[in-house]
Chains A and B, each alone.
Chain A
Amino acid sequence: MERNGLMIMVKAILAFILAALFAFGSPMTLLAVGPNTTMTFAFNRRGWVVRTQDAYLPYRNITTLGLNQPTGMVFGNHDLLYIADTGNRRIIVFDTQTEEVHNIFEFEGFQSPRGVFVTAEDWLYVADARANAVFILCALTGEHIRSHYTPTSMAFTDTLFSPNRIAVDLRGNMFIVGEGVYDGVIQLSNGGEFLGFFAANRTTRTFIQMLQDIFFTERQRNARIDRLPGTFSNVTVDNRGVIYSVSILPMGNFTGDGLKRHDMAGRDTFDDMIIWGLQHVDLCVDAGGFIYTVSPDGWIYVFTNRGEMIFYFGAGHLLDTDIAGLFRSVTALAVSSAGDIWVLDDQSNFLQSFRPTEYTRSVFEAITLFNAGLYEESAVVWEDVLRHNQMSVLAHTGMGRAQLHQGNHTQAMASFYLGGHRDYYSTAYWEVRNQWLMDNLTVVLLTVAGLFLLLSVMRHLDRKRVVAGAWGGAKAKVMNAPFLKPVFFAFSVARHPIDSYYYMKLKEKGSLGGAVFHFVLFFAAYMVFQTSRGFLVQMTEVVDMDFMVVIGGFFGLFILFILSNYLVTSIYDGEGSVADIFKLVSYGVFPLTITLFGVTALSHVITHNELFLLNFTLFFGFAYTVSVLWLGFQEIHNYGFKQTFLSLFVTACFMVIAIVVLFNLSILLNEVRGFIESIAREVYAHVTGMY
């Protein structure tokens, strides 16, 4: 459970953010009604979900099968579709080519057939929850071969055996999703022996749940249903024998267990992927390795064989209206050999299919070619994808990868930038930078050496220090200019904080004007750092920033800190006034100002390999600034170490309390405003006879 804790936390946060952004990136547009009834979405370069070219079009609507709460469906050999018609206790074999019922299997043992799976050998496995059994029939004739009931193994004695869904690997081992089983997928051998629970879902704890863990008794904790992991909803095996599962996760469970690809030990090999969507009821893996999942409300997700989401499509609304492509309650999905997606709705009791568009075929072809190592060919197809959608992250990234393999690093950089892929961008940039260094290093070194040589010669010639003296005089004149001296005093503060703050306290050095200048400079550095770092480290772009928070937070915290510190130090016998504290902080942050400018500039020339340099510089600048400020507080307030610590700690507490109070006050004022407005509206409505 605690494995990869940090990774899970990061994934949880990302997934939460993504879930919060589960929005329909569609402003009012000028686009007319097209051939589709659903919308297709994909990630944009910054991880937002935006609309893209239609991936699938509604194709067939089969309303004549007389289904009754069908729950499972799978394609067998010869493109025959096996539908578990649960309410009618039968299996319908439907020919999707001719749209005719090919066969109906009404085995007497069926009570509620739900899960179906067909092996390459034409064995039809039927999971029947109410019969507590797995029935094996011949997929061609419906003849009963054998049945498996509750395993007799000691390890399984306490577990309910109600098979809901089933998949069978190449060895005939059965993987069964059981009703009410949280321990994992039930694994039976081809002889029906219980082999153990295969894989298990995890739980995450919210902050509230962590508090509950501290204060609740064990019985109370066990009674909480929200502690249960997500339940497996389906399982399948691809043509290579790899096992996949999907789960329905409760809201707030961001473990990424929605879709898993399992290794032989049941571990999730998609563990490092961010799996979009919390609720997947069924999945299918086609011959090309593309993974399809579906949510109960009809969102269909398509993933690469590496677990990257290609796109998802659906409608999500208008559930009260029967429109092709829309659903009320989806229970199953299957993909035909032609790539058509078939979807089963257990409330509407009909079957619908979707046909891939040219766009989707191009995407699939490009991915397949790339995975097969045909980079040049894939680049050509990615071009076609980009023609359909110039904002396609997948296409830009795919194109970039192809270009990277072909050695077109500059173009690859541009593609990765447009695709928002920082890791690959770093790789491409490293190559470009390396090439630049190879091409220009000699010139650079010669230039530097030449400059040194020139300087030495000049020093040698200027033995009487005529030029140096004139330079020094001009420099001193500038440094001592009345309006510049308080500005340059910041250098002194950074180098000799104790002395500098001492003289500042005596008002011999520094000024309010100089402090204001450095405060403005610090704000500028802060804004430049926030908005203008290199692509590799600028994780939030300007358009994603809330400048009310960015700018308001900066000034708010700064002012709040100064006021709080003044009020606190007034109690603790501090000697600094508000102006002193303002000057102290404004001058004291100068090292951080320089660091922020420097780091911002540096971020444009580094790759991921040198990221530590950036972090170290930032850390050093921050630590140095804190040290300067600490010494400043000691000096300005005439405190010792302990008093300084205490005053800053109390200042921090005071700030937190002030923020909480202000927050509550704003809520209260909003409520009061709403209350007054409600009364005003009520009075208005009655006076004007509106109701």
Chain B
Amino acid sequence: MLRGCIDKIRGSESEIRNPGRIRTKLGVIIAVVAVLLMVPAVVLANFIPTNRDTRMPPAVAVFEDIPMDEYAFLGQFGDLRYYYRADRDVIMVRCALGRFVWRTGLDVPFNRDIEDAVFWAQTEEELRLAAMPIQQRLNATWTAMANSLLTIQYFELTYTTTMASSAAHDNSGRSTLMQLAPHHFRLDVQFAAPAPDIFIPLHIFLSDTGITYEIYAHEITGTGVDRMNAILITPFLGASGGMRRHFDFEANTFGEPEPDYMVPGYAFVPDGSGALMRFQENTVQLSLYTGHVFGENPADAMFFSNDEVGAVERPHPLMPVFGVTQGHDQQAFVAWADKGAEYMEIVMYPERNMTHYNFVYPRFVKNARIFQVYNRSGDGFFRLFPDRREYDISISYKFLHGGDANHVGMARAYRAHLIGEGILTPASVQSGTMPLRMDFIMSDVRRSVLGTTNVITTTIDQAEHIIRDVMTSGVGSLNGGLLGFQNGGVTTGHPGRIRFNRNIGTRRNFRNFFDEMNGLGADISFAQDYLHINRLQMNLPRNQAFHRNRWGLRAWDSFEPFLPVNEISLARPARSVDWLARQTRTAVNTGAVSHTVNGITNNLVSHWGRRDATGLTESMEMVRNAFASSPVPINAHSPNLYLWEYTHRFLQAPVFNTQFMISTDTVPFLQLVLHNTMEVYAPYANFSFYTQADILRMIDYNVFPSFVVTYRPAHYLGNTNSLNFYSTEYAIYRDIILDVYNQMSSILSHTMGLEWLDRRVLANGVILNVYERGSEVVINYTQQPFEHRGIYVPPQSARLFP
């Protein structure tokens, strides 16, 4: 081999003696060939799933028997039997039919107790009984947390956070379970020194489907309540993994840590469209996942200005739900919050981060640190909220088994719950023609010698021309929004009133336009952002929301002086809903039959002004009421759960997730929940979402295509704040729009209105969607054909099996 290496280098040396033009020409040829070959070389590779895909289901899990000695029977509801272990605060749920067993905690002894027992063991028999394996990376605090039903995080005097649990090793947490009714129990938890003095009653409701926990704000008492950072409920329910050190009787000490059997499975979190985080052992420490349900409230964030402007916007959970699956179609649970969701975080710890377990839990934040700025230079100090958040908590766990014990089953369970609550209405989407969404950027502003000038990219006549062209080319159902429809365009058009610009279209032009569109069957509406505001639009101090530290919120800062707006703030909730009401009235008077709303739909913001403070729950109610009282249906940009009841069209639905390193799969959980309850549209197919794989993803996720277009080339927007719309000209998109529409319509037109029953991974890169009446769709993302029911599905395509 060594000789071969040496021979090769000699050979190359002889080649060097004849350098010259040949090499240059060869270089060019090789370069061209290399680039041309690059495409097929990649395309022909096998399909390797990334964390943007859904992988094959987890392996079958093997569950060990759990001793029942220490558990007391609480009751049986339906097929579910409930038991309780008082010393560790663990509830066990056993299916009477033997389908599953869950414990709310790890149910493990404290290492310190084992070590003490081993130390004091007098005989070999005592030692044998005492020398239980000890947990690696679980100290007393974490062991207490792993067992307990309830854990709190609280602030020390230095504002660092510490935990105390209801089944603590020391006196920091003590609990008593009381039965108030056959199905209603109350766990009274008293926290004391070294933890602050806090008393929390945890109400536990047992049922034939699962457990519901409730905490009422008015029942929480104690002198240390304001120091409470967050409440954690059953954090280790469904935990998988662990590492223990077994006692070495020869060496008379505990041996090296050995990993426990890791139950195959995954945690589901509603990150983007939905993410699975499979349980696995890691060789490196990966960071945990924290999802702020409904988005992090910027008015309660640590700092009053956003410092993540350079990064891709991370999706936040639109719904307060998560779950765990163990094994392949064996057992799972899904948990959702009905109260306190706006203050809820979903946290997922991967193995090797703090402990050797994978676990996911809800965290309800009561108080937090903020940076109190006291001058314009930004100097300040850290402090807690002046008053803790007062809200009730209600979170339910539903246990699933068999074919429902996966993310699809979770989605169906949650969907059923939302339908039961009246938030979603099934069969709202009728079968028939697949709709297409087409938004128009009509104008925006650029800087000029005197202030700003409108840059008009689509007039109302041009929009009409485009719509007619699309609808006469085979698109049967079309809806769209008009962005920047008024003077000032997308960026500086006032959200509260409409000032028509004759160069875009007068009021009469718009009225005629809407009449024409209604006649054509196209639902076109005004589109407006009611949250992001700037100085050129209005007086900011009178309209912007204030942070807890009483400084106006800054959502975005830039350094590009060529842009007309370099600082964007967030509006007060009261202003936003007032503008929405005013503008929808004007829209109705102009003839629009729906309205497109952005900004307030997926950003929940409170306002801490001295006279007109608006809390988060109040803000949520305000926006919901504004939607409820809208005179026209609302098309909402990726709305949070609390708006779904009043949302007619769900726009820009996420079809990816944040892609945390611990995320292994992306799943259409959101789409499974929403299917047939409203029209759900994909992100614009103009921007990094234009490939064949993306079209297949839209079919797979049952979302309809959407585009944003302009009549004039996009480079006219290059000096405006809409410069991120860098590819929009209708002339270059016309054929693409029709092609995408036709491809998708041939499948989705047949599945619209049908119940989406299941979604299975047949092979890596091959998905099977099952609908009612036996309809199936196979989506083949791979480069190889796939056979299903004796029929080949070509590579990179989808096929309907009616």
Contact = CB atoms under 8 A, between A and B. Distances in A.
Interface of A: 20-21, 23-39, 44-46, 48, 50-54, 57-61, 63-67, 97, 99, 119-123, 138-141, 143, 145, 170-172, 239-241, 286-289, 315-318, 320-325, 337-339, 348-350, 355, 357-359, 361, 364-365, 368-369, 371-372, 374, 386-392, 418, 527, 531, 541-547, 674, 677-678, 681-682, 685, 688-691
B658 interface: yes
Nearest to A138: B5
B659 A678 contact: no
Nearest to B681: A32
A389 B727 contact: yes
A140 B659 contact: no
A122 B726 contact: no
Interface in B31-89: 31-32, 34-36, 38-39, 41-42, 45, 48, 50-52
A680 B523 CA distance: 53
Given A143-B2, A322-B661, A371-B28, 11 more contacts: A31-B683, A34-B656, A36-B312, A63-B282, A171-B16, A288-B34, A317-B308, A317-B310, A317-B311, A389-B726, A544-B561
B101 to A, nearest CB: 32
A121 B727 contact: no
B426 interface: no
Contact of A30 (B529, B563, B659, B688): B529
A61 B28 CA distance: 33
A35 B689 contact: yes
B356 to A, nearest CB: 16
5 smallest CB-CB distances across A and B, nearest first, come from A121-B8, A32-B652, A32-B683, A24-B310, A54-B688
Interface residues of B, number: 112
Contacts of A371: 28, 31
Interface centre among B4, B11, B311 (most CB of A within 10 A): B311
A28 B718 contact: no
Interface string B382-393: 010010000000
B5 A51 contact: no
Contacts of A288: 31, 34-35
B284 A688 contact: no
B404 interface: no
B1 interface: yes
A27 B556 contact: yes
Interface of B: 1-2, 4-6, 8-9, 11-13, 15-16, 23-24, 27-32, 34-36, 38-39, 41-42, 45, 48, 50-52, 272, 282-284, 286-287, 307-315, 372, 374-377, 383, 386, 439, 446-449, 483, 491, 529, 532, 550, 555-556, 558-563, 565, 568, 598, 610, 637-638, 652-654, 656, 658-662, 683-684, 687-691, 694, 708, 713-715, 717-719, 721-729, 732
A323 B661 contact: yes
A372 B33 CA distance: 11
Contact of B558 (A24, A121, A143, A338): A24
Given A172-B13, A321-B660, A322-B662, A542 B315 contact: no
Contacts of A348: 284
A690 B386 contact: yes
A25 B51 CA distance: 28
A677 B654 CA distance: 44
A60 B48 contact: yes
A355 B559 CA distance: 31
Interface centre among B35, B38, B483, B718 (most CB of A within 10 A): B35
Contacts of A53: 687-688, 726-727
Contact of B598 (A30, A52, A316, A339): A30
A139 B9 CA distance: 13
Contacts of B307: 317
A34 B688 contact: yes
Interface centre among B447, B708, B714 (most CB of A within 10 A): B447
Contacts of A674: 375-377
B687 A123 contact: no
A391 B715 contact: yes
A361 B562 contact: no
Nearest to A55: B688
Nearest to B596: A30
B727 A25 contact: no
Contacts of A391: 714-715, 717-718, 723, 726
Contacts of A681: 374-375
Contacts of A678: 374-375
A503 to B, nearest CB: 37
Given A27-B724, A29-B724, A691 B718 contact: no
B12 A51 contact: no
Nearest to A27: B721
A355 B47 CA distance: 13
A620 to B, nearest CB: 28
Chain A contact residues: helix, strand, loop or mixed: loop
Contact of A546 (B310, B561, B694): B561
Nearest to A29: B724
Contacts of A338: 38, 41-42, 45
B715 A61 contact: no
A52 B308 contact: no
A616 B683 CA distance: 55
A545 B447 CA distance: 9
Nearest to B664: A61
Contacts of B308: 317-318
B30 to A, nearest CB: 6
A376 to B, nearest CB: 14
B610 A688 contact: yes
Contacts of B727: 53, 387-390
A139 B2 CA distance: 10
A64 B351 CA distance: 13
A440 to B, nearest CB: 30
A28 B372 contact: no
B311 A27 contact: no
Given A64-B283, A350-B284, A547-B449, A46 B41 contact: no
B311 A58 contact: no
Nearest to B282: A63
Nearest to B383: A691
A21 B713 CA distance: 26
10 contacts: A32-B637, A39-B311, A48-B562, A53-B688, A58-B50, A317-B307, A322-B287, A386-B732, A531-B449, A674-B375
Nearest to A682: B374
Contacts of B556: 27-28
A84 B747 CA distance: 50
Given A120-B12, A691-B372, A23 B312 contact: no
Contacts of B568: 27-28
A182 B39 CA distance: 42
A299 to B, nearest CB: 10
A507 to B, nearest CB: 37
A140 B1 contact: yes
A365 B312 contact: no
B35 A122 contact: no
Nearest to B684: A31
Contacts of A321: 287, 660
Interface centre among A145, A322, A547, A682 (most CB of B within 10 A): A322
Contacts of B36: 365
Contacts of B662: 322
Contacts of A121: 5-6, 8-9, 11-12
Nearest to A168: B9
B1 A143 contact: yes
Nearest to A359: B688
Contact of A287 (B4, B30, B52, B638): B30
Contacts of A52: 726
A33 B45 contact: no
B31 A289 contact: yes
A122 B5 contact: yes
A26 B723 CA distance: 8
A172 B9 contact: yes
A98 to B, nearest CB: 10
Given A170-B16, A317-B310, A318-B308, A27 B558 contact: yes
